[in-house]
Amino acid sequence: MPRSRRNELERELAKAADPKRAKNLTWFFKTGKGEYGEGDRFIGLTVPTTRRIALRYRDLTLNDLAALLLSPIHEYRMAALEILVAQFERAREPERTRFVEFYLQQTGSINNWDLVDTSAPYILGEYLLTRPRQILDELASSVNIWERRIAIVATLAFLKKGQVAYTFRISERLLRDSHDLIHKATGWALREAGKVDTPALLRFLSRHYAQIPRTTLRYAIERFPREQRHAILCGKF
């Protein structure tokens, strides 16, 4: 694949840039000094626009995608991940391992919550449906917040198949995490697990009530009736 194809993608993304939206995204994704997205740069594309453009270049090589993932521009990294998801989905089983290995090598560039959420379930989660899942335990213990988020968000793929055990397993490992973005992701995953098996979710929440961050708990029970939510928040199950 000629190198110019990646350059064409970058030019097309840049052409669609919206400076006003870029300013809002810079604030929304907390890019200031000391914030979780420190240094991230935006050009102001919506996710549908980024995806639409990216998928016209779904034949880019992994070297091209690696170069895009090294970009400081958020939408370039998002485009690379959209292409990687598309390539993974159409790959045959033996080839999928290569895509997952590449994905795990790039976690330093999958460094904002939307980048994790639009890739982890569709690449790593799907891959692990039929394989041992110890890698998620390793990621959940990482010092890298985005690897910890990948660990829990990847389990959403299991929930779509009615499998709740690993969501609870990784959630338990993350209950003492100090970061709000992990609290939210864990609560989101627990909420989805509750859609599959509500009694199992209630047992989990009751057993770990004293350790669950309030944000996680609120996310986990937001689909319950108001009276039940109030009771659970007060520790009454």
**Percent of the chain predicted with pLDDT > 70:** 99
Per residue in 102-151, pLDDT tens?
999 999 999 999 999 999 999 999 999 999 999 999 999 999 999 999 99
Rounded distance, CA 101 to CA 91, Å? 14
Per residue in 217-234, pLDDT tens?
999 999 999 999 999 999
Per residue in 83-107, pLDDT tens?
999 999 999 988 999 999 999 999 9
Rounded distance, CA 4 to CA 198, Å? 51
Rounded to the nearest integer, the mean pLDDT of the chain is 96
Residue type, 141: S
Distances (CA, A) of 13 to 33, 50, 83, 107, 117: 26, 7, 14, 22, 21
Residue 2 pLDDT: 47
Quick count: other Cβ atoms within 10 Å of Cβ 61? 13
Cβ atoms of residues 168 and 151 within 8 Å = no
The residues near 233 (Cβ < 8 Å, ≥ 6 apart) are 214, 217, 218, 221
Each domain of the chain, given as residue ranges in start order, spans 1-119
Q: What band does 1 get if pLDDT is binned at 50, 70 and 90?
A: very low
Q: Provide the whole-model pTM.
A: 0.95
Residue 3 pLDDT: 54
CATH number of 1-119: 1.25.10.90
Cβ atoms of residues 159 and 188 within 8 Å = no
Residue 229 pLDDT: 97
The residues near 35 (Cβ < 8 Å, ≥ 6 apart) are none
Of the candidates 145, 97, 144, the residue with the CA atom closest to the CA atom of residue 123: 97
